[in-house]
Copies of this chain bind each other. A is one copy, B any other.
Amino acid sequence: MTQNNKNTVFSDVRSLQEMGEFGLIDRIQRLFNGNTDSQGIGIGDDCAVIPIDNDYSMLVTTDMLIEDRHFRRDWISAKDLGYKSLAVNLSDISAMGGKPEHAFLSIGLPDDISPGWLEDFFLQTHTACEQYGVRLSGGDTTKSPRPIVINYTVLGRICKKHIHLRSDAVPGDRIALLGNPGDSGAGFRLLKEQVPVNDNRHLRLIDAHNRPPLFVDEAQFLAQYSGVHALIDLSDGLRPDAGHIAERSNVIMRIELDTLPLSPEFTETCREFSWDMYNLALTAGEDYGLLFTLNPEQADGLARDFESRFGYRFSIIGDVQEGKADVVFKLDGRVKKIQTHGFDHFRSP
């Protein structure tokens, strides 16, 4: 019975490209829907949430990186790769307000990996674990016929009342941002277009791509405030990630472009190469900043508390409005159209 009525999950399309990544995830969700019940929140948010007792839940996230798809050995050092592959998972735990605790690393290595590469990769992994208080609690090692493959699963813990979901935004909320959108995307573009890197601005952008700053402590701090509502990390890009909140919360996310905390390195480099600044800042992924919405009445108090704790401020970049799920950008009082979609692993070349 189960077999019969589910027998057309994937057969309505002719290829994986036609399906796309979100199409694939959608179909997997549909198939396993009955399998994901009230015991936990399943496929879809930054992490799965597994209740462990009356007060606490476990957060679980997993992420696969494949060489020549997610990284290139000549664009990222073994050190940076060691850091970044763990960091992106810690960011997912942070994105729900949790404290990352245990990491599990599966790694597939081709024959030509040198002991020096391993030394750099694992020493940096060790350093990152110590920095963020995470334990490497297990894993798997295997030979790979060709690409380096890295899969992390990270477990975190969160007090149930501090869980923040993409669906928690409320009309009237302010939209806030930590981190500089576009830095990572610009760094990636410098690498991809093989621009001769000739100044510190370029190096800093490449660094933002290869060693994205994390907001682990900040996220845990924010998560404790009842005035903080939806929370997400910027992995797909500001526009698509704001879109995730819009869809899950069924609200309009209205963002004022001139309030975006763009770094001078970013704006100057965009000017230097005539890159479309807003397009890059809004659609390039892997920023790992934190995007959140907060009760407008608590916004000022929270901003002060945050600044006195961390010594810097978050940016208010817009507000949440009632209406059909959408992300709207305004510049100089007018709506500005931003074309393009988020990154789709199966559709892009």
Which residues of A does B touch, CB under 8 Å?
A: 2-3, 6-7, 9-17, 19, 21, 24-25, 27-28, 31-32, 35-37, 39-40, 42-43, 47-48, 50, 52-53, 58, 60-64, 66-70, 102, 104, 106-109, 111, 113-116, 118-119, 122-123, 126-127, 129-130, 135-147, 149, 151, 153, 155, 345-346
Contacts and interface: CB of A to CB of B under 8 A. Distances in A.
Contacts of A155: 50, 60
28 contacts: A7-B119, A10-B122, A16-B111, A16-B113, A24-B118, A28-B136, A31-B123, A32-B126, A32-B129, A43-B138, A43-B139, A48-B104, A52-B53, A58-B58, A60-B138, A60-B153, A62-B139, A62-B140, A62-B153, A63-B140, A64-B140, A64-B142, A66-B142, A66-B144, A67-B145, A69-B144, A140-B151, A143-B346
A122 B9 contact: yes
B35 A129 contact: yes
A10 B126 CA distance: 14
B69 A32 contact: no
B16 A126 contact: no
Contacts of A142: 21, 64, 66, 69-70, 345
A35 B140 contact: no
Contacts of A115: 10-16, 19
A28 B126 CA distance: 10
Contact of A130 (B2, B52, B135, B139): B2
A137 B53 contact: no
A138 B63 contact: no
B106 A63 contact: yes
A107 to B, nearest CB: 8
A80 to B, nearest CB: 16
A108 B64 contact: yes
A221 to B, nearest CB: 24
B346 A42 contact: no
**How many chain copies?**
2
Contacts of A40: 102, 135, 137
Contact of A345 (B13, B14, B16, B141): B141
Contacts of A27: 118, 122
Contacts of A68: 145
Contacts of A62: 104, 106, 138-140, 151, 153
Across chains A and B, which 6 residue pairs bring their CB atoms closest together, nearest first?
A64-B106, A153-B153, A48-B138, A151-B151, A10-B115, A48-B137
A138 B115 CA distance: 34
A130 B35 contact: yes
A179 B107 CA distance: 30
- Best-buried of A27, A35, A52 by chain B (most CB within 10 Å): A35
- Best-buried of A17, A116, A123 by chain B (most CB within 10 Å): A123
Given A40-B135, A60-B104, A68-B145, 17 more contacts: A10-B116, A11-B119, A16-B109, A21-B143, A31-B122, A36-B137, A40-B102, A52-B52, A60-B138, A62-B138, A64-B140, A69-B144, A144-B147, A146-B147, A149-B149, A149-B151, A153-B153
